[in-house]
């Protein structure tokens, strides 16, 4: 009964329930559709997606939401889950083609037309620009942590919901761009070589604000004195723990993303080289075909003193 009590929504939202439930239903349908065509989805991708959706649901639709409204460090953990960890896991599963396959056939043509419309494509082209994506991702952290804005958001139900939805959706957008398994020549919106510095660059402003909150000796957020803290933790300690959550775990996610993209970039380059080598071999064996170009000078030749 105690577990059920904590799992029940503190502030029930039809929107959150409908969003999470529809994502799961479409993913299940899409996974089954792919399996019928001998393109079964790996277990790790399924696990990553379902765990990500669960960690989007829990901070918004359980009693955890009540804790986040009365302790700053619980609030920062909530936003870490929404903005960084849960959205990271969902994006890592690359679920969008699977979700599309799970749509009813009658919806696909309409959604395809909507997606192809000039207005939607223009907005997408803007928000997927590296500088814009970076500004949105980092800017929302600073916006909602600005003391006066944070004070109003924690006391206004409308602004509170807007705050949580904005960080969750922006997290999904940003990590989907960074963790897209495709290269740009395969349809990705962003080059692989751009994503690594972009992911690492987000660590800088997050470190700055996290370090400031962790090391600051005064009280920055007085709204929790108004709401009332749940546990006997002084304001500065509460704030310092929240700063560490903003600083360290978020930076770890950026580092993990950069390593994943680096591995995919190396794999993509290896496939391109192997494809080029196969093409050269086929061309060279053809009758009357020109001989393959001389290979570029490599580092071992330089080390050996060859020219």
Residue-range definition of the domain harbouring residue 204: 9-103+124-278
Q: Judge whether 1 lies within some domain.
A: no
Instruction: Point out the residues of the chain with pLDDT beneath 50.
Output: 285-307
What pLDDT, on a 0 to 100 scale, did the predictor assign at position 168?
96
Q: Is residue 295 part of a domain?
A: no
Per-residue confidence (pLDDT) for residue 303, from 0 to 100: 32
Taking alpha carbons only, the member of 134, 136, 168 closest to residue 23 is 168
CA 57 vs. chain centroid, Å, equals: 15
Alpha-carbon gap, residue 27 to 30, rounded angstroms: 5
Structural domains in the chain (count): 1
Closest listed residue to residue 269, CA positions, set 257, 277, 258: 277
Q: Is residue 293 part of a domain?
A: no
**pLDDT score recorded for residue 301:** 32
- Would you say residue 116 lies in a domain? no
300 belongs to a structural domain: no
For tokens 């060279």, name the residue. Answer: 284
Q: What pLDDT does 3 receive?
A: 66
pLDDT number for residue 307? 31
112 assigned to some structural domain: no
- Cα separation, 297 vs 249, whole angstroms: 43
Confidence (pLDDT) at 56: 96
pLDDT value, residue 5: 67
In a domain, 109, yes or no: no
Distance CA 291, CA 282 (A): 11
Q: What is the pLDDT of residues 65-100, one digit of tens each?
A: 999 999 999 999 999 999 999 999 999 999 999 999
Answer whether residue 299 is part of any domain.
Answer: no
């Amino acid at each position: 009964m105690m577990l059920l009590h904590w799992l029940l929504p503190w502030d029930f939202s039809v929107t959150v329930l409908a969003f999470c439930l529809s994502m799961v239903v479409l993913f299940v349908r899409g996974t089954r559709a792919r399996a019928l065509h001998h393109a079964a989805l790996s277990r790790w991708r399924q696990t990553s997606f379902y765990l990500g959706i669960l960690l989007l649901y829990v901070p918004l639709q359980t009693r955890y939401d009540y804790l986040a409204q009365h302790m700053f460090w619980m609030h920062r953990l909530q936003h870490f889950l929404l903005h960084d960890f849960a959205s990271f896991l969902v994006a890592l599963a690359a679920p969008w083609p699977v979700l599309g396959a799970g749509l009813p056939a009658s919806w696909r043509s309409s959604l395809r037309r909507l997606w192809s419309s000039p207005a939607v494509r223009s907005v997408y082209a803007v928000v997927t620009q590296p500088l814009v994506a970076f500004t949105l991702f980092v800017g929302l952290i600073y916006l909602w942590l600005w003391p006066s804005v944070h004070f109003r958001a924690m006391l206004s139900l409308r602004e509170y919901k807007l705050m949580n939805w904005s960080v969750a959706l922006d997290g999904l957008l940003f990590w989907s761009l960074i963790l897209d398994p495709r290269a740009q020549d395969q349809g990705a919106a962003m080059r692989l070589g751009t994503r690594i510095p972009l992911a690492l660059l987000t660590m800088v402003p997050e470190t700055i604000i996290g370090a400031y909150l962790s090391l600051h000796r005064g009280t920055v957020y007085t709204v929790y004195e108004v709401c009332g803290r749940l546990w006997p933790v002084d304001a500065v300690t509460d704030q310092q723990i929240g700063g560490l959550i903003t600083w360290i775990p978020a930076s770890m996610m950026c580092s993990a993303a950069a390593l994943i993209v680096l591995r995919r970039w190396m794999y993509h380059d290896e496939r391109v080289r192997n494809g080029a080598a196969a093409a050269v071999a086929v061309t060279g064996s053809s009758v009357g075909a020109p001989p393959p170009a001389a290979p570029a000078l490599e580092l071992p030749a330089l080390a050996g003193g060859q020219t």
